Amino acid sequence: MYISRMPLNLARFDAKRLVGSPYRMHAAVESSFPPDSARVTEEGRVLWRIDYSEADHSAWLYVVSPDRPDFTHIIEQAGWPTHMQWETTDYSQLLNRIAIGQQWQFRLRANPVRKAATDRVKDSPRKPEEIIGKRQAFVTANQQMEWLMKRSDQNGFTVLQEECGPALRVVQRQKERFERNGATVTLATAVFKGQLEVTDAEALRRALCHGIGHAKGFGCGLLTLSPIHASLSR
């Protein structure tokens, strides 16, 4: 597995078009790999996320992938062709270091949803095969944080606690609408920033390589880790 990042030049028209449409960005990321390159493997899958920095108004594209990408076409359209390129690192350098008890800062852009379900058989206990319904987005920050915390155990971590509560924040909430195959798609997303402790190293490695939640093709699900520098409340 590989993890890559590249800067996007938001002063360019094509960069704005790309970041404004998860469908276009999905296509651009897919084009970074040869046609015969596997997008999903047992080790992991292609995941991507765009991070914005309020400090310097910059934007970065992060990609996790089974194969090494070539972002030349994105650099030419939306980057700095004569200056800044992209960085690709062997992800195993981080993955192999993960161990139970470690504490990390994390960032995740996700699509927090639930299935609004009814039973196929009236008054019967619901089983997975009996559930019908559509996915409904959680729209408040508290609902979205609860959604993630309910999924932390299965993904190999627990959210750390601070004096004022969980070390978890929703730093951005957004409802995006874009065109896909002639239809309008609505995607509710939340960007989480928090601090975690590893409880299951293998499960966390799987979350890092396979993603969390739905809409992974549209820039959701990519969890990244970094060293803890300070409390989130500061």
Rounded mean pLDDT, 160-181: 88
Residue 113 has pLDDT above 50, yes or no: yes
Q: Please, which pLDDT band fits residue 185 given cuts at 50, 70 and 90? A: confident
CA atoms of 110 and 222, how far apart (whole Å) = 8
Question: How far from 191 is each of 54, 61, 110, CA to CA, in Å?
Answer: 14, 14, 6
Q: What pTM was estimated for this model as a whole?
A: 0.88
Query: Could you state, in order of their start, the residue ranges of all structural domains in the chain?
Result: 2-91, 103-226
HSE-up (13 A, CA, CB side) for residue 170: 20
Q: Which CATH class is domain 2-91?
A: alpha beta
- Report the candidate in 141, 160, 159 with the shortest Cα–Cα distance to residue 150: 159
Share of the chain above pLDDT 90, in %: 71
* CATH architecture of structural domain 103-226: 2-Layer Sandwich (3.30)
Cα 143 to the center of its chain, rounded Å: 18
Torsion, Cα of 224, 225, 230, 234 (10° steps): 20
pLDDT of the residue at 87: 96
- Helix, strand, or coil here: 163? coil
Q: What is the pLDDT of residue 132?
A: 53
Cα end-to-end distance, the chain, whole Å: 34
Q: Which residues contact 141 (CB under 8 A, 6 or more apart)?
A: 170, 173, 190
pLDDT of residue 81: 84
Asked, colleague to colleague, whether 2-91 and 103-226 share their fold, the answer is yes
Degrees (nearest 5) of the Cα angle 194, 198, 202?
A: 125
Cα–Cα distances (Å) from 160 to 44, 111, 191, 200, in that order, read: 26, 22, 17, 15
Residue 133 is predicted with a pLDDT of 57
- Cα angle at 65 between 97 and 31, to 5 degrees? 160
Q: What is the pLDDT of residues 57-95, one digit of tens each?
A: 789 999 999 999 999 999 999 998 887 789 999 999 999
DSSP SS3 for 45: strand
Residue 125 pLDDT level (bands cut at 50, 70, 90): low
| Residue-level length of the chain | 234
pLDDT confidence bin for 127, thresholds 50/70/90? low
DSSP assignment of 79-98: S-TTS---EEEETHHHHTT-
CB 146 within 8 A of CB 198: no
